[in-house]
Amino acid sequence: MHSTLTEHARCLYGDEYRPTPTCGLEQAEHYFVEELTFADADSILAMLRELCPHVADGHLPVRIRNLAYRLLLLQRPNHPALLREAAHSLWMHGPDWDHIAQDLNKQADALDTT
């Protein structure tokens, strides 16, 4: 069993900065998505920081990265820096999500002025 969300992601997708561990567990993505779905904000943020420290890097699939940011923002909706980080990630992997990135930046700007 994986002890953290980050460890589970590293086993499943690999890590650009560290060797991929061999854990001997069945590596089905749906188990990871289930764990991610119910993870707390700190665990999600730790995974993103460790596996994608420069937003445009890492081996996490874009769909997993987008889901992680979405779940993180649902738990921390009033955090301007995280809104901008999620927007930046969407800009990097767009253009399909450019309108969502714009909305996230507008939300962050509105929070900064209040």
Tens of pLDDT, residue by residue over 69-90, are 999 999 999 999 999 999 999 9
pLDDT-based confidence at residue 24 (cuts at 50, 70, 90): low
10-24, 55-69, 72-86: which has the minimum mean pLDDT?
Answer: 10-24
Residue 32 pLDDT greater than 80, yes or no = yes
Structural domain count of the chain: 1
Q: Are the CB atoms for 94 and 55 separated by under 8 Å?
A: no
Two structure tokens written together for 104: 């996230």
Residue 9: the pLDDT is: 93
- Mean residue pLDDT of the chain comes to 90
Residue 43 pLDDT greater than 90, yes or no = yes
Q: Is 36 exposed, middle or buried (0-12, 13-18, 19+ CB in 10 A)?
A: buried
Residue 61 pLDDT greater than 90, yes or no = yes
Residue 44 pLDDT greater than 90, yes or no = yes
Rounded mean pLDDT of 31-47? 96
**Whole-number Å distance between alpha carbons of 90 and 98:** 7
Domain of residue 64: give its range: 5-113
